[in-house]
Amino acid sequence: MLIPTAQEIVHFSGLIDSLNVVEILNDVESKAQAGGIGNSTRKKIFNIAVEALQNLYHHTSDFTVEGKSDDEMRKVQFSFREDESYYYIITSNLLFPKHFKIIEEKLNFVNNLSVEELKELYRKVLTNNQLSNKGGAGLGFIDMRRKSGYELEYFYDPIDQELAKFTFIVKINKNKEKE
């Protein structure tokens, strides 16, 4: 089970489109404000939620598997949780194992970089004049890793021979609010 002691603040399960991305973000923002979370932490949470949701949006909107319904394939979960020490942004979606390999390589790469190396990589990718065919900048994982300050965690659960469920977790320290 994922982070068993964490309380759920915002939960979404379903198909993601540009309208509900905005609604979920509004919900995250208003709950974070109502919960009295300090500005600096609230901004980190919001920024990470934006990147995580837009990753879901860009990478699941055209996901199809022959013989399976598109709705079933494109269903995602998003969750904003907290426990005593951390806030968590958690997403999950279905993907092909071959795509997971690529994601895992990227995650392992950014997870192993120091603060300085991440800053350098961010600048390098920012200025490389490349955008993915889905409009992604290739900066999402780097940015989330920098904002979180912790390794980006993930789980991979094979469902059958051709599909797996990918769960992605970003932690934000509760006690690092700047004075």
Q: Does residue 147 bind another protein (CB under 8 A)?
A: yes
Q: Does residue 46 bind another protein (CB under 8 A)?
A: yes
Nearest by Cα to 172 from 77, 50, 44: 44
- Nearest approach in angstroms of CB 59 to another protein is 12
Measured from the CB atom, the residue of 101 and 123 that comes closer to another protein is 123
Residue selected from 11, 13, 22, 117 as contacting another protein according to rule CB under 8 A = 22
Distance CA 165, CA 162 (A): 11
Q: What is the CA radius of gyration of the chain?
A: 16
- Nearest approach in angstroms of CB 15 to another protein is 15
Q: Does residue 25 bind another protein (CB under 8 A)?
A: yes
Helix/strand/coil for 88? strand
Residue selected from 47, 111, 167, 173 as contacting another protein according to rule CB under 8 A = 47
DSSP for 140-154, please give it.
HHHHHHHHH-SPPEE
Q: Does residue 30 bind another protein (CB under 8 A)?
A: no
CB 37 within 8 Å of CB 117: no
Q: Does residue 31 bind another protein (CB under 8 A)?
A: no
Binding-site residue total for another protein (CB under 8 A)?
A: 30
Q: Describe the crossing of helices 115-126 and 140-148 by its angle, rounded to 10 degrees.
A: 150
Sheet containing 7-15: give its strands across.
Answer: 7-15, 75-82, 86-95, 164-173, 153-158
- Nearest approach in angstroms of CB 140 to another protein is 5
Report the greatest alpha carbon distance in the chain: 55
Binding footprint of another protein on the chain (CB under 8 A): 18, 21-22, 25-26, 39-40, 43, 46-47, 50-51, 54, 57-58, 119, 122-123, 126-127, 131, 135-137, 139-140, 142-143, 147, 178
